[in-house]
């Protein structure tokens, strides 16, 4: 038995209110799940029409199943490990603009359509100077969207009430602003009338947003087991973690039309998303990067092992609560709630997150995710944060490429790997040669955007920790912090 509206007895048909560019795992496990909950719990009464943004995708499978699919949410919920599943019933249809352009273009002729949501990868919000208004369709997502908006504008004669609330979910900073900027660039390139530009500026709301949910995707390794459990065949099963967060920067009026709060969702409408982005980068991503080299050199292999380890777990916890949180400006209670949620996510027994998958490009990750906390801690406290500095020393030790005789598969830019190859080749076992390595690494401004040797006491502290890691081993060295 296959999943479709004939076999799913609770199937409902809602008016199309949301145009969604992208049919991948993340949008279905995050945005569409929220819309489904709003339909069931907040009387949103709206469905999604999905557009495939590139020539190849899952549109055919989605239509075969009448937009239905099963979502498994797995992780820590209210302190317990929980796996639960439900059928998502909010996608009305899916359209491939490369095969059915007329049907695609007619989507925006629907006066009830109100929202446009996208996730076209980080590279999706980009300008392509070769896109033309008459293309069917344009190559880039912003090009496609500009042409659609222009058709909407023409269809309703510039009616100001027929603009959209546009919420991109691509993982780039200020995504809404960048998307709008490119659309206006296309309007200029295509010589579109000034009235259309005014309509874009005054009748449409471009929201910047931050999304957060780990979505492993289609569970191909256990799909037979899942099919037996469900009692039906579903080609689009998707797995995600329990935690979710959506921060949307825009006017308060949006939540009246998009009532996530009434469905109990962790979606925040804010005037400025910057503190929330900083919180995520510093706490979640920062904790990952802080722990990865320390835990791996300690002999651990997964995130869960690290946070549950008696010694490394205590170190990670201390780094977050004692050294990262004090550098952030959101309310303490809110920061601690988020940090505890992050640690629960790290403990998720359903996800095996390998440390080495996080270790990719660790130098640049440390610069964006950890260094700002380290420097702000110095600025606010007048002293160095021991655990973050120890992590920096472990980072340098990690790039030696050896874990107790086991070769580490280092993965980074060529210049970074060459820097470490050269520096570690000169190591003669002395503390002086370690200081030379530390001085060279901290002074590599191409990565740090500054000379870290100028941070008072940092070169000495990193050298001491690195000396201890090299001579005592990390299991003894970590006791210092």
Q: Is 443 annotated as a binding residue?
A: no
Q: Is 452 annotated as a binding residue?
A: no
Q: Is 394 annotated as a binding residue?
A: no
Q: Is 18 annotated as a binding residue?
A: yes
Q: Is 19 annotated as a binding residue?
A: yes
Nearest to 283 by CA among 325, 341, 322, 346: 325
Q: Is 29 annotated as a binding residue?
A: yes
Q: Is 28 annotated as a binding residue?
A: yes
Residue 8: both structure tokens together: 């799913």
Q: Is 20 annotated as a binding residue?
A: yes
Q: Is 236 annotated as a binding residue?
A: no
Q: Is 25 annotated as a binding residue?
A: yes
Q: Is 217 annotated as a binding residue?
A: no
Q: Is 94 annotated as a binding residue?
A: no
Binding-site annotation: residue ranges: 18-29
Binding-site annotation: residue ranges for NAD(+): 18-29
């Amino acid at each position: 038995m296959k999943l479709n509206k004939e076999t799913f007895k609770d199937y409902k048909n809602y008016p199309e209110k949301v145009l969604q560019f992208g049919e991948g795992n993340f949008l279905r496990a995050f945005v569409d799940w929220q819309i489904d909950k709003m339909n069931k719990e907040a009387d949103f009464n709206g469905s999604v029409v999905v557009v495939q943004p590139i020539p190849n995708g899952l549109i055919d499978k989605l239509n075969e199943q009448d937009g239905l699919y099963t979502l498994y949410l797995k992780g820590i919920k209210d302190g317990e490990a929980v796996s639960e599943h439900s059928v998502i019933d909010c996608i009305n249809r899916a359209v491939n603009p490369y095969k059915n352009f007329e049907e695609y273009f007619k989507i925006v002729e629907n006066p009830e359509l109100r929202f446009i949501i996208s996730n076209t990868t980080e590279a999706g919000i980009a300008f392509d100077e070769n896109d033309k208004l008459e293309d069917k369709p344009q190559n880039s997502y912003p090009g496609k969207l500009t042409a659609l908006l222009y058709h909407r504008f023409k269809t309703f004669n510039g009616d100001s009430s027929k603009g959209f609330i546009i919420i991109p979910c691509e993982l780039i900073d200020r995504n809404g602003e960048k998307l709008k900027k490119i659309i206006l660039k296309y309007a200029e390139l295509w010589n579109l009338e000034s009235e259309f530009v005014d309509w874009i500026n005054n009748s449409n709301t471009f929201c910047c947003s931050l999304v957060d949910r780990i979505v492993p995707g289609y569970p191909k390794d256990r799909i037979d087991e899942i099919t037996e459990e469900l009692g039906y065949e579903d080609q689009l099963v998707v797995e995600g973690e329990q935690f979710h967060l959506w921060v949307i920067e825009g006017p308060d009026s949006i939540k009246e039309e998009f009532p996530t709060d009434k469905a109990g969702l962790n979606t925040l409408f804010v005037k400025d998303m910057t503190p929330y982005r900083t919180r995520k980068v510093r706490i979640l991503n920062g904790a990952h990067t802080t722990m990865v080299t320390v835990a791996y050199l300690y002999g651990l292999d997964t995130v869960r092992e690290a946070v549950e380890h008696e010694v490394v777990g205590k170190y990670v916890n201390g780094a977050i609560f004692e050294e990262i949180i004090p550098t952030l400006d959101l309310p303490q209670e809110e920061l601690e709630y988020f940090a505890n949620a992050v640690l629960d996510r790290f403990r998720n027994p359903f996800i095996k997150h390998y440390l080495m998958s996080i270790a990719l490009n660790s130098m640049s990750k440390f610069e964006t995710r950890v260094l700002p906390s380290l420097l702000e801690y110095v600025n606010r406290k007048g002293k160095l944060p021991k655990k973050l500095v120890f992590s920096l020393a472990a980072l340098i030790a990690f790039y030696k490429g050896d874990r107790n005789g086991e070769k580490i598969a280092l993965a980074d830019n060529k210049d970074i790997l060459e820097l470490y190859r050269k520096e570690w080749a000169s190591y003669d076992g002395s503390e002086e040669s370690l200081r030379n390595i530390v001085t060279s690494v901290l002074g590599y401004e191409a990565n740090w955007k500054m000379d870290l040797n100028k941070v008072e006491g940092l070169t000495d502290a990193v050298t001491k920790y690195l000396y201890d890691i090299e001579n005592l081993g990390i299991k003894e060295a970590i006791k210092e912090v």
